[in-house]
Amino acid sequence: MIYEKNDVLDFAISPNGIAFYINKDHQVYIRNYYNTEWNIIDNGDYYFSNKISVCDYNTVFTTNEKNNLIKGVYNIKTNMYNWEFVDTSRYYYQVSCSRHPFDNSLWIIGDNNYVYLYVSYFMRIPVAEIAFKQIYAFFEVYLVGIDYDNNLWEYSIGIWTWIRSNVKSVSINSNGVIYVIDNDDLIYRIKNEKSRAL
């Protein structure tokens, strides 16, 4: 089945296949495979989210136009997500939860658009010396990112490796397989020994 949504700012799919998206009014919606409707989980009136990453059904991170880091946690008693600002004092351009089911690492594009491993409010570990416009994390020691020259890079166990140029967007599935959209809007699966080995 194919569903179409208009006016989408960003979207994410959880590791177990549940879809989330943010619309142009900064409202956050969820749709799982049991429902036929999109359900609103944040009305967009306070947080103004514009980018999203889903760790699992229970935990969602977003960033907003002021580059704040925001967290939504599902409350089973109320059947709602409770939202809170995690940090409003520093710059958060994008956030990416690990795709690996046994890893809770959180990656960010922060100050100067450098990539950091987010440990806590007080600790962020820098892992890149070039600016990135998009990252996608798979594991605490493995992620991919796109720099401002549209180059795709792979970070594995502390080493950045160039993969290809002419990349607009990147994603990793739950098996570690990399997919990219190039600047001609063509989708490619990247064959990569390191991602298959994880």
Domains of the chain plus CATH, in order, are 8-197 (2.130.10.10)
B/e letters for 130-140, b = 16+ CB within 10 Å, e = fewer, are: eebbbbbbbbe
25-29, 99-103, 115-119, range with the lowest pLDDT: 99-103
Query: In the predicted model, is pLDDT for residue 92 greater than 90?
Result: yes
Q: pLDDT at position 33, please? A: 66
Provide, rounded to the nearest whole percent, the portion of the chain with pLDDT above 70: 92
> Cβ(116)–Cβ(99) under 8 Å?
no
Cβ neighbours, 10 Å, residue 41: 16
Distance from C-alpha of 62 to C-alpha of 39, rounded to nearest angstrom: 17
Distance from C-alpha of 110 to C-alpha of 124, rounded to nearest angstrom: 9
For the stretch 29-61, pLDDT in tens is: 998 667 678 899 999 999 999 999 999 889 999
CA nearest to 52, candidates 76, 23, 25: 23
Query: In the predicted model, is pLDDT for residue 197 greater than 80?
Result: no
The pTM of this model reads 0.86
